[in-house]
Amino acid sequence: MSLRDRFLCLHDFEAAARDRLPRGLYGFAAGGSADGWSAANNRAAFDRWVFVPRTLATAPTRRQDVALFGQQFTSPCGIAPLGVSAMFRFDADVAMARAAALAGVPFILSGASLTPLERVLEANPQAWFQAYVDSDRARLDRLLARLRRSRCRCWC
């Protein structure tokens, strides 16, 4: 059975992840926050939306390309910050940044990434950075200076 036949929706990945990942990593990824409340509520929110295919319907030409923060992308949907993704795959952030660059979509590097932001920006100069506001002003100033030196165009 090919991967294309095996994984038809996001839920299909769960059993494969449970079988492949060490128990602690699977629990970290699948558990959501706290007691799973966040993951369950996210699932319920998405379940309220349904795509209704309308094949062969006449429709105007649709486009997804968009300019965001002065950068051009093929779609506004991209790869969100994924925290400690390097726990699940070596150099995961670099791989995701490259994939986003190839697809022409936004990539946001998590402030909790285990990969230096400079390495990610080498792979995708359009990558954004998710900065956490720190109460330590000196540490925040050092981070902002590092982002400027790295020529990171956008941080949030």
CA-atom Rg of the chain in angstroms: 19
pLDDT at 155: 67
Six token digits for residue 36 = 């799973």
More confident site: 74 or 134: 74
pLDDT, tens digit (0-9, with 9 covering 90-100), for 112-156: 999 999 999 999 999 999 988 888 999 989 998 999 999 887 765
Closest CA to 124 of 156, 150, 144, 86: 150
The C-alpha atoms of residue 149 and residue 152 are separated, in whole angstroms, by 8
Segment 43-63 mean pLDDT: 79
Model confidence at 56: pLDDT above 80:
no
Model confidence at 66: pLDDT above 90:
yes
Asked if 150 and 131 count as a contact pair (C-beta separation under 8 A), the reply is no
pLDDT, tens digit (0-9, with 9 covering 90-100), for 10-51: 788 888 888 988 998 888 888 777 677 878 888 898 889 887
Residue 118, C-beta contacts closer than 8 angstroms, at least 6 positions apart: 150
pLDDT at 10: 75
Closest CA to 39 of 47, 48, 28, 30: 30
Asked if 92 and 82 count as a contact pair (C-beta separation under 8 A), the reply is yes
The C-alpha atoms of residue 127 and residue 95 are separated, in whole angstroms, by 12
pLDDT at 151: 87
Model confidence at 107: pLDDT above 80:
yes
Residue 144, C-beta contacts closer than 8 angstroms, at least 6 positions apart: none
Six token digits for residue 25 = 């990593």
What residues does each domain of the chain span?
3-47, 66-149
pLDDT at 26: 87
The C-alpha atoms of residue 111 and residue 155 are separated, in whole angstroms, by 10
Model confidence at 4: pLDDT above 60:
yes
pLDDT at 38: 79
